[in-house]
Amino acid sequence: MSNEIELDSLANWVMMLKQLRADRADIDEQIEVAEGQIKDALGDAETGTIGGEPVIRWAHVVSQRFDQKAAKSMLTDDQINACTKPSESRRFTIVEV
């Protein structure tokens, strides 16, 4: 479905969104560098302190995830189809001109 609507009155919002996303990319890069420095200093420790007070926690976490590849190798197509359902969403993107 490809409906269109005129957004001329929101041009400033679109420009601001583009700039904010560009700024976020720069900030994300700075965050990655800062986290890397702190993680290197933490090593195997889970808590980092400043002045004796905890300021950073880097905990080990174990999670259980569904292994689709293993399920597909063990189950028939009918069984897999019975366990799956379509989902619909909308993807919001900025069109670069």
pLDDT tens for 47-69 read: 999 999 999 999 999 999 999 89
Of all residues in the chain, the percent with pLDDT exceeding 90 is: 79
pLDDT of residue 95: 87
| pLDDT score of 96 more than 90 | no
Residue with tokens 């041009």: 11
Contact 23, 31 (CB under 8 A): no
How far separated are the first and last CA of the chain, in Å rounded?
22
pTM: 0.67
Using DSSP's 3-state secondary structure scheme, residue 47 falls into strand
pLDDT given at position 1: 57
